[in-house]
Amino acid sequence: MKTSFQIGRIIGIPIKLHITFLLILPVFVWNFAINPSPFGFSDQDTTLRYVLSLAMAVSLFVCVILHELGHSYIAKKHGTKIQSITLFLFGGVSALEEIPRDPKTELKMALAGPGVSFLISILFMGIYLLFKSPDDSFIQINDPYMRLFWMISIINIMLGIFNLLPAFPMDGGRVLRAWLAQRTTYIRATREAAGIGKMFAIIMGIFGLFYT
Ligand code: ZN
């Protein structure tokens, strides 16, 4: 059975959707439809509520693809072949033919994804601040279209920060390994980065236990 299908091609890279992605999309639409402002559209009438929620869910996944394209673009520039970018249940995955073993390239590649996310965030926050109505503040956004821009900005900041957490398979884990690999051997750097990631996961777990 075919589990993913191609929806297009950007800078020569096939973009694919995995079937798990088709299951999660309605969940996201529903989530945005029932959440109140500023993280949803529950205060709007039915049609607009679902149109904007769908627009938000699709925007979110377009932003995930753009994040992956950030990684892929740098990888391609350094001669790595990219087979495809596939959208799964929780985010995108770039399939690379070979992962660069040069720490400087890996560092640039790992940072490119979050870099794209932060750029999108700044762009949409700029649009929001330029065109928002005078009554709207940073968290009180009555205009539903402006709220969409605001949400895209905030979600991209979160996407960037979340991906920079220093644990594999997040980009932050790769940044850490690349940074360590410039000082020691690649294998030791991988081991140390994985160790730091584990420690970080334990700290996050303890933090989660006490602050829920
Ligand atoms: Zn990434």
How remote is the C-alpha of 121 from its chain's centroid?
A: 11
Separation of CA 133 and ligand 1 centre (Å): 34
pLDDT in tens, 38-52: 899 999 999 999 999
C-alpha 80 to ligand 1 mean position (Å)? 16
Q: What is the pLDDT of residues 34-85, one digit of tens each?
A: 999 889 999 999 999 999 999 999 999 899 999 999 999 998 898 888 888 8
pLDDT at 19: 87
Residue 160, pLDDT score = 93
Q: How many A from CA of 18 to the centre of ligand 1?
A: 18
pLDDT under 50: residue ranges of the chain:
none
- The residues whose Cβ lies within 5 A of ligand 1, an ion, are 113, 163, 171
Q: Report domain extents, the chain.
A: 4-164, 166-212
* pLDDT score at 125: 95
- In this predicted structure, what is the pLDDT of residue 149? 95
Q: What is the pLDDT of residue 91?
A: 66
By residue count, the chain amounts to 212
| Environment class of 123 (CB within 10 Å of its CB; exposed 0-12, middle 13-18, buried 19+) | middle
**pLDDT at position 92:** 67
Rounded to the nearest angstrom, the distance between the alpha carbon of 66 and the centre of ligand 1 is: 10
Interval between CA 176 and ligand 1 midpoint (Å): 14
Residues annotated as part of the active site: 68
Residue 36: the pLDDT is 92
Q: Are 76 and 52 in contact (CB under 8 A)?
A: no
What is the C-alpha separation between 5 and 84, in angstroms, rounded?
Answer: 11
What's the confidence (pLDDT) of residue 129? 92
Counting Cα atoms < 13 Å in the Cβ hemisphere of 74 gives 21
